[in-house]
């Protein structure tokens, strides 16, 4: 039986962007047994990978001790493929018929294109999520009380405050899009984020008191989030792991960008949903190369992005979706 060791990211977003490569190798080698090595935050997206033998959670330790631990858990196997997207020296000390190592990324390419270049495929394989029946059933349970009205999904948080559009603007946007003159009048609003991100999302929840809001902060696992996104009319969120999950799930997505490079990390279309992005008035370079830039600060660097601009992006995207449906 063929065996694959797939070493991918700790971060959810980067891990999602690597799933197209993983799916391609699995499809080209039917029955191959898969071992995933990734960080704890990303482990949940791989639980339903076909022919999964094991997920090894890589927890960072001093003096590269996490790589030594991973080597101990993998050195006894003869691998048909070792795919190392972390550029670790570990890969060279494992027995493998074929090694694919992400030695260098191209700063001018999207990360999905980088994945395609590793195996010489253009266009690159699109990110893929394996959403299980259990996740679909959990999603149905969580949204069962919403009825038949459209669902607007919003994720107002991110792993760094600088990438977070202000919560009051998310609230105003939700009111406009679901109000009488919005593109989803009367729609339900589902709000997503990790449990520890509730303080960042709470101002939005408070501002939407009295509106049809479903608070899903810290409740669904990642693949159940994906199953809910598939049922939505539109997802809007900051550059985050959830944004990439939404795009990979086939949802219609608008990603909000400022101090992260959209040409590297914009939402990648799955072939099902439509994607778009809205960006601050300042470019990524103007924000992060400013003399006042300090990555240790949590203040938003997204304040030049207006509600009008994001609403306009949403309306334009919805027009594209409707035009395609009518064609």
Helix (H, G, I), strand (E, B) or coil at 27: helix
Q: Please give the model's pTM, rounded to 2 decimal places.
A: 0.97
pLDDT value, residue 104 = 83
CA atoms within 13 A on the CB side of 197: 23
Tens-place pLDDT, residues 107-143: 999 999 999 999 999 999 999 999 999 999 999 999 9
Give the span between the Cα atoms of 86 and 83, in whole angstroms: 9
Q: What is the mean pLDDT of residues 322-326?
A: 86
pLDDT value, residue 260 = 96
Model confidence at 29: pLDDT above 90: yes
**The tokens 């985050």 sit on which residue?**
240
Tens-place pLDDT, residues 234-254: 999 999 999 999 999 999 999
* CA 43 vs CA 15, 16, 301, 324: distances in Å: 9, 10, 29, 35
The secondary structure of residue 152, as a DSSP letter, is: E
Q: Give all domains of the chain, ordered by start, each with its CATH number.
A: 3-118 (3.40.50.2000), 134-326 (3.40.50.2000)
Q: At a CB cut-off of 8 Å and minimum separation 6, what does 170 contact?
A: 154, 156, 204, 236
């Amino acid at each position: 039986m063929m065996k694959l060791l797939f070493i991918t990211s700790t971060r959810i977003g980067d891990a999602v962007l690597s799933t197209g490569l993983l799916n391609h190798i699995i499809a080209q080698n039917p029955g191959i047994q898969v071992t995933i090595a990734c960080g704890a935050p990303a482990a949940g997206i791989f639980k339903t990978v076909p022919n999964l033998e094991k997920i090894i959670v890589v927890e960072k330790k001093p003096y590269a001790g996490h790589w030594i631990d991973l080597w101990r858990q993998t050195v006894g196997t003869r691998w048909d493929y070792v795919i190392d997207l972390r550029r670790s020296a570990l890969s060279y000390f494992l027995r493998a018929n074929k090694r694919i190592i992400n030695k260098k990324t191209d700063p001018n390419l999207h990360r999905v294109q980088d994945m395609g270049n590793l195996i010489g495929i253009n266009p690159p394989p699109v990110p893929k999520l394996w959403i299980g029946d259990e996740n679909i059933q959990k999603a149905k349970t969580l949204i069962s009380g919403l009825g038949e009205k459209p669902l607007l999904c919003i994720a107002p948080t991110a792993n760094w405050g600088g990438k977070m559009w202000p919560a009051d603007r998310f609230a105003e946007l939700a009111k406009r899009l679901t109000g009488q003159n919005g593109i989803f009048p009367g729609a339900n609003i589902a709000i997503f984020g990790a449990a520890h991100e509730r303080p960042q999302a709470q101002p939005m929840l408070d501002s939407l008191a009295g509106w049809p809001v479903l608070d899903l902060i810290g409740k669904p696992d990642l693949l159940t989030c994906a199953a809910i996104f598939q049922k939505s009319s539109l997802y809007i969120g900051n550059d985050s792991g959830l944004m990439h999950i939404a795009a990979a799930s086939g949802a219609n997505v608008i990603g909000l960008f400022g101090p992260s490079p959209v040409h590297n990390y914009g939402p990648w279309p799955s072939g099902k949903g439509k994607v778009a992005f809205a960006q601050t008035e300042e470019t990524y370079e103007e924000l992060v190369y400013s003399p006042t830039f300090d990555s240790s600060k949590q203040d938003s660097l997204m304040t030049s992005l207006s509600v009008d601009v994001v609403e306009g992006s949403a309306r334009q995207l919805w027009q594209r979706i409707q035009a395609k449906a009518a064609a």
